[in-house]
Amino acid sequence: MSESAEMPLELPPTDMLYMTYEGNWLTECTAKVLSVSAHNPGEDESVAPLAICLDRTVMHAQGGGQPTDVGRLEITATGVSVDVSKVLIDRETGVATHFGTLSGKTPPRVGDAVTVKLNVSQRRILSECHTAGHVVDSAMARCGKLMEPTKAYHFLDGPYVEYKGSVPIEERDSVLQELQEAFCQLVDEGFDTKIDILSKEEADELCNRQAQNFDVNLFADKRTQQIRVVTVAGFPCPCGGTHVRSTTELKQGRWGITGLKSKKGVVRVKYGRTSSS
Ligand SMILES: [Zn+2]
């Protein structure tokens, strides 16, 4: 992407606070501005004119199947703010960039202190959506379908999880029904979410206890070689996203499994909000 090319090379990796269990619940933090540049939105209209790097952030950078957080940077000295519409991270350098538009006249400068504030309701719904995606994994395991997850799409416009494998056409309706029931049970049983930063060996042991369905090497942080493992509904897997505290919290949004497709060696389980109440 063009925005990574513009990033100064010497910046240290951004401390992504949501990666730890405690940090997952933070909705704001103070931070220091490390770089500010004008961004040419010509190539990607979804990103805004200012590109700002900080020493740390509470905002989730788009990736791992989860959309970006949106929010605001408030510059302490001037009271001016930047509305952040997208956060991207360079996986090689670990440097995150906040793209936003200035409301006010004075742009932030290197060294400025800022407060990073999330759009809390947006974060909440994205965390529910991502957590529900992991409940799909756990429901698959509960139904004896331990397939390798190959793609996860935790966006609100039709989320799904894909696995390597197949479900014969005559079994699809019954498997879908079993998965839907397992999903509801897992929500009702109220599992607490866990987030651990582990070595490759520890992650491998934890995630591949039931089946060798994760290659943990694919998920290791390029700099630390560590792996963040999230356990939702009792099912551990490598993950970089944000989550809600317990599966019971999905009940309020009434999440559930909505469909099952199987073709060309790919099983797609669709899920979503099954009621808007
Ligand atoms: Zn995840």
Question: How far is ligand 1, taken at its centre, from the CA of residue 240, in Å?
Answer: 6
**Is 107 in the same domain as 24?**
yes
pLDDT at 10: 86
**Is 224 in the same domain as 203?**
yes
φ, ψ of residue 208 in degrees (nearest 5): -105, 25
Which among 118, 145, 162 is the end of a domain? 118
Confidence of residue 275 (pLDDT cuts 50, 70, 90): confident
How many angstroms from the chain centroid is the CA of residue 64?
Answer: 6
- The total number of structural domains that make up the chain: 2
Tell whether 23 is covered by a domain.
yes
CA diameter of the chain: 65
Q: How confident is the model over 57-78, as pLDDT tens digits?
A: 999 999 989 999 999 999 999 9
Which among 118, 136, 160 is the end of a domain? 118
Question: How far is ligand 1, taken at its centre, from the CA of residue 77, in Å?
Answer: 37
Question: How far is ligand 1, taken at its centre, from the CA of residue 52, in Å?
Answer: 26
Q: Alpha-carbon distance 214 to 236, whole Å?
A: 10
Which among 94, 118, 142 is the end of a domain? 118
Query: CA 15, 19, 20 angle in degrees (round to 5)?
Result: 105
pLDDT of residue 45 exceeding 80, the answer is: no
pLDDT at 100: 95
Domain CATH for 68:
2.40.30.130
pLDDT at 8: 53
**Is 103 in the same domain as 145?**
no
pLDDT above 90: percentage of residues in the chain: 78
pLDDT of residue 272 exceeding 60, the answer is: yes
Tell whether 83 is covered by a domain.
yes
Q: Alpha-carbon distance 257 to 177, whole Å?
A: 9
Burial (CB count <10 Å: 0-12, 13-18, 19+), residue 140: buried
pLDDT of residue 248 exceeding 80, the answer is: yes
pLDDT at 105: 85
Tell whether 76 is covered by a domain.
yes
Question: How far is ligand 1, taken at its centre, from the CA of residue 105, in Å?
Answer: 39
**Is 181 in the same domain as 197?**
yes
Tell whether 152 is covered by a domain.
yes
pLDDT of residue 6 exceeding 60, the answer is: no
**Is 114 in the same domain as 131?**
no
Q: Which residues 6+ apart lie within 8 Å of 245 measured at CB? A: 25, 192, 193
Structural contact between residues 28 and 112, judged by C-beta atoms closer than 8 angstroms: no
Question: How far is ligand 1, taken at its centre, from the CA of residue 10, in Å?
Answer: 30
Question: How far is ligand 1, taken at its centre, from the CA of residue 236, in Å?
Answer: 10
Question: How far is ligand 1, taken at its centre, from the CA of residue 114, in Å?
Answer: 29
Q: How confident is the model over 195-229, as pLDDT tens digits?
A: 999 999 999 999 987 777 788 888 888 888 999 99
**Is 131 in the same domain as 111?**
no
**Is 134 in the same domain as 182?**
yes
Give the bridge partners for 95, in sequence order.
Answer: 90
What are 274's two structure tokens? 């099954």
**Is 177 in the same domain as 217?**
yes
C-alpha distance from residue 167 to each of 142, 213, 247 (Å)? 16, 17, 27
pLDDT at 156: 97
DSSP the chain: -HHHHTS-TTPPPPEEGGGSTTGGG--EEEEEEEEEEE--TTS-TTS-SEEEEESEESSPPSBTTBPPP-EEEEETTT--EEEEEEEEEETTTTEEEEEEEEESSS---TT-EEEEEE-HHHHHHHHHHHHHHHHHHHHHHHTT--PEEEEEE--SSS-EEEEES---GGGHHHHHHHHHHHHHHHHHHTPBPEEEEE-HHHHHHHHTSS-S---GGGGS-TTT--EEEEEETTEEEE--S---SBTTHHHHHTEEEEEEEEETTEEEEEEEES---
Rounded mean pLDDT, 12-20: 96
**Is 65 in the same domain as 128?**
no
Please provide the average confidence, as pLDDT, over all residues in the chain: 92
pLDDT at 3: 47
Question: How far is ligand 1, taken at its centre, from the CA of residue 120, in Å?
Answer: 19
Confidence of residue 276 (pLDDT cuts 50, 70, 90): low
**Is 131 in the same domain as 191?**
yes
Q: How confident is the model over 117-138, as pLDDT tens digits?
A: 999 999 999 999 999 999 999 9
Confidence of residue 1 (pLDDT cuts 50, 70, 90): very low
**Is 159 in the same domain as 259?**
yes
C-alpha distance from residue 215 to each of 8, 203, 206, 227 (Å)? 32, 10, 12, 11
Domain CATH for 187:
3.30.980.10
Q: How confident is the model over 141-180, as pLDDT tens digits?
A: 999 999 989 999 999 999 999 999 999 999 999 999 999 9
Question: How far is ligand 1, taken at its centre, from the CA of residue 266, in Å?
Answer: 19
Domain enclosing residue 81, as ranges: 8-118
Higher pLDDT, 64 or 262: 262
pLDDT at 219: 86
